[in-house]
Structure 1
Amino acid sequence: MQQKAEQQTLTVSYTCIGKGDPIVLIHGFGEDHRIWQKQWTVLQNEHKVVLPDLPGTGESTLNSATLTIDSMAEAIKLMLDEEEITTCIMLGHSMGGYVTLAFAEKYPERLQAFGLIHSTAYADSDEKKEARNKSIAFIQEHSAYEFIKATIPNLFAATFNRTNSAEVQKLTAQGKQFTADTLIAYYKAMINRPDRTAVLQQTKVPVLMFIGEEDKAVNPADALAQSALPNVCMVQHIPGIAHMGMLEAPTALNETITAFITTVNTLTKDSVTA
């Protein structure tokens, strides 16, 4: 059941499933919380899975004039405060990873661990910014949904596109909810975000990096290089998939998340008994 946290003009819609230690799963650009369905069906057996819709997605309100990656991190904090969650494990996909890093920078005490699922701590390169600005121009000329239809298939590996076209089409159809203002606001927020490799270097909690070998949105080599920055980092590099491991390799992702949680719990127990 969807719930809402409200503060002044901000409304954050989210869903909680299951009971136990909280796991927060943050979706990426052009998605909503449903992208994690194949993960929450496993995690809900032992955890309270918290699934926000970022501002501008679902029933979460958008103020495009003030939207930044940092303001989305504040929306996540509002949700956690509403649920009285003091600490959690937080995983973010793509843009959701940027939000996770911003949250880790601002509120490190609220995280037991965090993970980047097909995401990066690097700021946009000049080339990446140019590509995003071209995308903004396309959206302005053609519409949000035309952009979604053109780009979603490119996030998957070629083999998955051929063998799972219905899954790709389903995700594409879910993109009808997005307005041009929302997608443009997301792009501007991503363009303007800072480099956050220092967050990985300085964090005192375990980090997960889940990487697709055929990912064209996040350079796998960059992600692997960043995995050396945290003191404790679990890395899973999956061949044959691109940017959408939640759908392309759900079993591998679920097993990785479960193993990561076990590692985090073991390290936490060891630190308490030391």
Structure 2
Amino acid sequence: MNVNIENMDLNYICEGEGKNILILHGWGASIDTIMPIFNYLKNHFKVYAIDFPGCGKSQKPKEVLGAFDYARIIKRFIDIMEMNEVILIGHSHGGRVSLVLANKYPELVKKMILIDSAGLIPKRKLKYYVKVYTFKTLKKLYSLAFFWMNKEKAMERFYKKFGSDDYKDADGIMRKILVKLVNEDLRPLLNGIKASTLLIWGRDDDATPVYMGEIMEKEIKDSGLVVLENAGHYSYLDQFIRFKVIVDSFLEKDKVN
């Protein structure tokens, strides 16, 4: 199904009956990646999932979006679907957007599940700054070495060879959006969140490390952190049986049998 928001056709699905749940996927992913969660919850809830702009089957945005822009778009979706109250489940980038929504609309978001959530600026070590300096130097040398080539094509080749995995996979405006998102720090929003929050993290997550979950647990008043062993950034897929048990316990009182 499609819904038009801010002149973008956005793809979404909805199944089930009961209290509203909205599942938000991670960066560069789509509805397909959160279908295991969707399918097991739809028997007890009315479950929505949406492809973010530029992901899955949704149209790309025409301007650079930040976390608050994504939250505005998702709030519009919630309003169109006439949800007066919603339980948010956000993985990675979906968690980032959930943080903004929970902070801005406490009357709307009563419960929230964040899975390996983004939203915090990572700790910068010396190795990071060396890597950034090296990257910038290589970029300059590359542009000089391929001066005869169209600049845009030359830079595209450079990023495909030397950029991060997410950066390589993104293109055009989505690449600019990614840069903006990873430099936004949502930590100041945490202590203003009133929603009862379950934090689920993979012990081996190297994209959004466990210490980020620990910070969120400390600063979100009504929150608890569960760390899944032998699981990475997609902890819900790596340990799906354990994940279901934990989520079932958190949502037990909200279920429609």
**TM-score range, shorter-chain basis?**
0.7 to 0.9
CA spacing shift, 1:199–1:179, aligned 2, 3 Å: closer
Measure the CA separation in 2 of the matches of 1:50 and 1:117.
17
Provide the residue aligned with 1:65 in structure 2.
63
Q: Does 1:36 align with 2:34?
A: yes
Query: Could you tell me how far 1:52 is from its partner in structure 2?
Result: 0.7
Q: Does 1:257 align with 2:247?
A: yes
Residue 184 (structure 1) aligned to one of 175, 190, 193: 175
Query: Could you tell me how far 1:147 is from its partner in structure 2?
Result: 9.3
Equivalent pair of 1:139/1:147 in contact (CA under 8 Å): no
Provide the residue aligned with 1:80 in structure 2.
78
Q: Which has the higher helix share?
A: 1
Which ranges of structure 1 fall in alignment gaps of 5 or more residues?
153-177, 267-274
Measure the CA separation in 2 of the matches of 1:123 and 1:25.
23
Provide the residue aligned with 2:157 in structure 1.
141
CA spacing shift, 1:21–1:113, aligned 2, 3 Å: same
Which ranges of structure 2 fall in alignment gaps of 5 or more residues?
140-153
Q: Does 1:199 align with 2:215?
A: no
Q: Deviations over 1:137-163 (max 9, x none)?
A: 89932687x899x848xxxxxxxxxxx
Provide the residue aligned with 1:94 in structure 2.
92
**1:108-257 → structure 2 map (5 Å cutoff):** 108-125=106-123, 140-141=156-157, 151=165, 180-181=171-172, 183-194=174-185, 196-257=186-247
For residue 191 of structure 1, what is the amino acid of its counterpart? V
CA spacing shift, 1:130–1:206, aligned 2, 3 Å: farther
Query: Could you tell me how far 1:65 is from its partner in structure 2?
Result: 2.5
Equivalent pair of 2:86/2:109 in contact (CA under 8 Å): yes
Measure the CA separation in 1 of the matches of 2:209 and 2:246.
20
Query: Could you tell me how far 1:202 is from its partner in structure 2?
Result: 2.2
Q: Percent identity?
A: 21
For residue 232 of structure 2, what is the amino acid of its counterpart? A
Measure the CA separation in 2 of the matches of 1:120 and 1:8.
24
For residue 12 of structure 1, what is the amino acid of its counterpart? L
For residue 140 of structure 1, what is the amino acid of its counterpart? E
Measure the CA separation in 2 of the matches of 1:19 and 1:139.
49
For residue 119 of structure 1, what is the amino acid of its counterpart? S
With normalisation by structure 1, the TM-score equals: 0.74
Provide the residue aligned with 2:143 in structure 1.
none
SS class of match (1:228): helix
Measure the CA separation in 1 of the matches of 2:162 and 2:23.
25
Equivalent pair of 1:12/1:79 in contact (CA under 8 Å): no
Measure the CA separation in 2 of the matches of 1:214 and 1:130.
24
CA spacing shift, 1:58–1:129, aligned 2, 3 Å: farther
Measure the CA separation in 2 of the matches of 1:124 and 1:186.
18
RMSD of aligned residue pairs (Cα, Å): 3.2
Task: Mark the structure with the bigger radius of gyration.
Answer: 2
